Amino acid sequence: MYTPIDRKVPQGDPEDALWYDVCENSNSMSGVWQYRHLRDQGILKTPNTTSDEWIRVWDDKSSTPWLYNPQMRRFVSYDDQESVDRKVEFVKAKGLKGVMAWGLHADYQGELVGALNRVGPLCRGPKSDLDEPST
């Protein structure tokens, strides 16, 4: 009933690199995908439309999308414009003062930064590369 365990972690996007697992004492890929590479590589043709090989599913509990490729048996969870919009709406509804994002470098043409900017400006200091969308 269960698929046999394959200890090899699949390679994620082009920026994925080998990492060292101190528990397993082995080197492997992290399997991490960045949003911009989902778009660059055409896995996501638009923020809400996948290529034919992938299936996009929305999870109402976490307000996030996830992708699945049945042929490759790969699962990718991520944030997109809609999930960021919902999180921004939550922040505004609760009267909170802002949001936190792990890495804006993984954005695609400002799609996620645009949604985050609805809360307020992301940078309140010298001009930085966060002020312009990545290409």
pLDDT of residue 42: 93
Residue 74, CB half-sphere, CA atoms under 13 Å: how many?
17
Strand partners, 74: 69
Angle in degrees, CA 126, 95, 86, rounded to 5: 85
- Quick count: other Cβ atoms within 10 Å of Cβ 110? 16
Token pair listed for 20: 């060292």
Q: Where exactly are the structural domains of the chain?
A: 33-77, 81-131
User: For the segment 89-133, what is each residue's pLDDT rounded down to a tens digit?
Assistant: 888 899 887 777 777 777 888 888 888 777 666 554 444 555 555
- List all residues 6 or more positions away from 103 whose beta carbon is below 8 Å from its beta carbon: 34
pTM: 0.64
pLDDT of residue 52: 96
89 vs 25, residue with greater confidence = 89
User: For the segment 43-61, what is each residue's pLDDT rounded down to a tens digit?
Assistant: 999 989 999 999 999 999 9
- List all residues 6 or more positions away from 109 whose beta carbon is below 8 Å from its beta carbon: 39, 133, 134, 135
